[in-house]
Structure 1
Amino acid sequence: MRKIQNNEVSADMAEAILGDQDQYSCSICLDLLRDPVTIPCGHSYCMSCIGECWNTNDLNGTYRCPQCRQTFKSKPPLNRSTVLAEIMEKLRSTESAQSLAGPGEIACDFCSGEMIKAVKSCLECRASYCQTHVQPHYNVPALKKHKLVKAAVIPVCPKHDKVLEVYCRTDQKCVCMHCLLDDHKGHDTVSSTIERNEKQIKLTDTQTKVKQTIQAKEKELQKMNVDIASHSDSAKKAVENSKKVFSELVKFIEKKSNEVIEKIKAEEKADLDQGAKLQKKLQEEITELKKREGVLEDLLQTDDNIQFLQNYEVVSYSSGSDGFPSHSFKPFCLYPDVNDLVCELKNRLETIFNQEINETVQKVSDLAIKNNPVCIKVGDRVRVKPSIKTPKYDWGSAITHKSVGVVKDIKSDKCLVIDFPGFASWRGLLSEIEPVTDDDEGGSSTLNCKIKIGDKVYVKPSVETPKYLWGSVSHKSIGSVINVQGETVTVNFPEQEGWLGEVSEMELVVSADLGSPSHAYFKIGNRVSVKSSVKDPKHGWGSVTHNSIGVIKRIQGESLTVEFPEQTDWTGIASEMELINGDVSEVLSLRPGVRVRVKPTIRTPAHGWGSVTKHSIGVVEAIDGTKVTVNFPEQLSWTGIVSEMEAVP
């Protein structure tokens, strides 16, 4: 290749070299080469840097390369590399032209016009320099003693306007030398370098621990990903296996169905063959009788008395039907009986399937709870799990995955009764619910405040307008707290359910202030009706009338949930209702062993008909509050409401 002449070093070449600037830096001053020289081993240095290095580190007249440590017996001549020097000059000019100070970057304090980016800062001069203006600190002997650092804002003492060089361990802050004679006199102080080294060792240990923790967490995540993928695959296999089992079950039922159908058809053919024989025989007898009828007709039409008398005995003797016994079609198989048998089989299979499948589903839920036990107790704040698309007993009118409620009761069948804001006594399965912690809601809870769920409260007299406005509530309104979430409280007032307010706006009601509430006389299981003086109940009539008599199912503050024959889960206000004397179970004389049926007025029972009809008569198996369990011939352990049933004499 042609040698590059000094005047052929272009800016383009310098720009190409700029991308690999570290290769053209002096290993002693760590800056771009200035007056570059190359020693016999091939390494290049600034002339002043290598000269000063050899002058201060002369050992027995030997000289070493600072990089490869090669030793020279005599001091090698330091000849300036002209080509490399020109490259460095072009490189500096190109770098300087391209390195304008941007936002947040340090600018050279000596450049006029365009603000060139600084590359070094001097702690002695307390100034920053670009590549051009920093050169005197490398060439001028007096400036060579100054300490250069990477371009940065030089922190100074606000009191003495001096560079911060010392660290005060007593006050844990950086100070200047003058501070040691002033505010920090007698304190435990060290140089910033020593403190930096000690803290850097600690910080390095911390960084190592953080890295180890990251690695451990990454392994946990990797294992968790494998476990989740394996669990998902297991669930898919379970689904596929369930589909296969149920498909085989369907095929089995179809096979047995075909066998029954073939049997019915075979019996039908046998019966039809017998019927065809009888039809043929009857037809032959009819033909024979018609012939005799013709003989009789001929005899009756004869005019000769002698001939008539001579033939009378013969004809009259054989003209009767004694020789033709009566016939009837009597099939071997009665198909209405077959229909009854098939229907009975269907009902039994449905009952068994419902029971077995429900038990299987429940066992799956129990297994999930057993493997992942969740300690939920009365008073806990809970919500529906995000994985639940539709709860078993539906969502209700105001409940979503974000709704947070309070557990009111836990039933023996792993069913929870929960009070949500705007929806009291919601029912859901334990396996569908998860507890809500303070972290889940992004802050600390105020459940520990003086107002808690179940308390009677009213709006403070000092509050002119509540944060969420009055609605139908007034200062005289007394309600029951159903939820406390952060600083927000949800209250059921007689005038308005699910009313929202601030905890600071509410006052606890002393028991003496309550007097005798109208619902003190009501208990779950009481028979009630709407007062005749009530024209329009607060929540509407629905299918209920003044003549309707129902049973109280739930009491929540002033709100009553009543099961009427015409409408289940009807909601009313205690002040709108009146008691009906006598207990419903006594009036109906319902007890285990009594024969009952569904009332004719009931269109659809609360829990559905199942295989039961209006004509079905069963025997009471058990009574639990307002629920009754009946054994019908069509369906065992059928569940209904007491108010839906009537005793059969």
Structure 2
Amino acid sequence: MAEAMLGDHEQYSCSICLELLRDPVTIPCGHSYCMSCINECWNTNDQKGIYRCPQCRHTFNSKPPLNKSTMLAEIMEKLRSTESAQSLAGPGEIACDFCSGEMIKAVKSCLECRASYCETHVQPHYNVPALRKHKLVKAAVIPVCPKHDKLLEVYCRTDQKCVCMHCLLDDHKGHDTVPSTIERKEKQIKLTHSQTKVKQTMQAKEKELQKMKMDITSHSDSAKKAVENSKKVFSELVKLIEKKSIEVIEEIKAQEKADLDHGTKLRKKLEGEITELKKREGVLDDLLQTEDNIQFLQNYETVSSTSGSDESQSFPFQPYCSFEDVTKLICDLTGRLETTCTQEISKTMNKVSDLSTKRPPFDIVIGDRVRVKPSVVTPIHKWGSVTYSSVGVVKKIQGGLLTVDFPEQKNWTGLISEMDHVTGAGSDLSTKNGPFDISVGDRVRVKPSIITPKHNWGRNVTHKSVGVVKDIKDDDSVVVDFPGHANWKGILSEMELVTNDNDEIGPSNLDPSIKIGDKVRVKPSVVTPTHKWGAVSHKSIGVVQKIQGDSLTVDFPEQKNWTGIVSEMEIVASAGSGSSRLESVINIGDQVRVKPSVVTPTHKWGAVTHKSIGVVQKIQDESLIVDFPEHKKWTGLVSEMELVASADLDIKSEDVIVDFPKHKSWKGILSEMELVNSDDDFSGSS
């Protein structure tokens, strides 16, 4: 009998606590409740002396006697016994801590006892007065402090995490902390507000979808009517215009298909957004239904960050061809067909074609995010401040031209055929990758508008520091390697791409304070100077004659009064400049290593690292060949290398250690050795 009653589980549940009846009592109106539940309900009633049934709202002038229903209690006991026997804890489920033998599935967890109970063992918490005050929640793993093994009861707003009472006197002393219940209430209000916005957005999208379906149907009917009218008109011309009739009909159908395909794309896109909003609503609803404050708070940030945008982009169906115009033109032909048949039919077909050409090619429409195609060397209307990495939003389309707002340049004009769509989650302006499509390997720095990053500056990181993105997390955090701080953690929204090759990574070993009279040259990293090369090249060395703002005037042997930008130049130091000697004085036989500011050498690392120290074997123009212990005949650029002074090497007094082809780690005296400066005198690898 109990097994048969399992299917009617709900009718044996208390409408107050929603659990199976415990100590069931039936009040005069016929409804049954747990004795403790109805007593508590009536005791907390604001209107003293008036007692109502929570279900039918029947009013009793005096408190009805509550006598235990013996028969219903026996049914409940059998039902619990049968249910417990069938409810074994499965993988990933919480088992009762008090059941011996088989692991019975727990239904409740007590935050005070820090234990989980099945339906049978949880009864004392309902019946024993001292245990009734304990906080019961749906069976779950009770989170505790890993350091103090205490219940998590407090939320630290400073570190944004749940902590125990002992943590307040330890790691979180002096932090902004509040009880978890208060923090949940505040965050629940925000989450409820977000859920309301999602519902409103979803409702608006559903209305838009209905209107779009009607528009598409109407447009399709218009096309069908245009076809019917065309058939009727052309049927009267039989031989003369039979061929032209077929061509016009095919043109209309082709345009109808193009418009319907376009409408279908928009409809699917809108349906996809509605589906996504429904998923988001479900996630928000699940979190709002979470009984455990700690689980709620721990999942809040993840769910709230994906709760959707406040703004919604509309996708109205706007066909590019009106078939009513075509019908009118066809009717006008009837009076002039005998003399101008061929001419007028051509005009009709041209009209359909002209209307279809108003559709932007490549399906790029206003509001789309685009960038210049990699195959375009130079856009027709020039680059301006835009680069291949720039992603902007289409503001206007006219013919084959479009106007785009890029972060680097507003109202940029280009050809539609030169642009690519930017699609996918990785390129979404509203997602974790931000407005500049930051990805692993990109060079970034903290935005000037950020006074203090969320995770603080760290050591040696400033607004001028430029680092390389090492990792991007799902929570929109980013790990960056700066020259003075490896594995620095920040937030994507706080960072900006460094797209200018002239922005050095970290502090440069070149003196940025260029003064009049200094000897300078164009940096190797500058492909084309802002004011063009003229007769100057990367090898040219000149003297600064004038500096005004960020511009300077240099006299080169090849060109006098050459104008350049300070940030594009580097100082050429003399050999006597001490420890700051630059690549211009690197000679064959010198000890060198890759500069710390070079993230990846032009010719790749191979087995070499920043710590590797090798000997220069050959120099040709801007390239050099170095023998490192880890990598022989390694090729690099002179501008990427720096000299290693004797103080930096593992050489004591006048001792020297040399790798000969037939004798590794050979030890000698410096005074006994001489440099090999000629390639002809050098045989083998050192």
Q: TM-score, normalised by structure 2?
A: 0.36
User: Is the radius of gyration larger for structure 1 or structure 2?
Assistant: 1
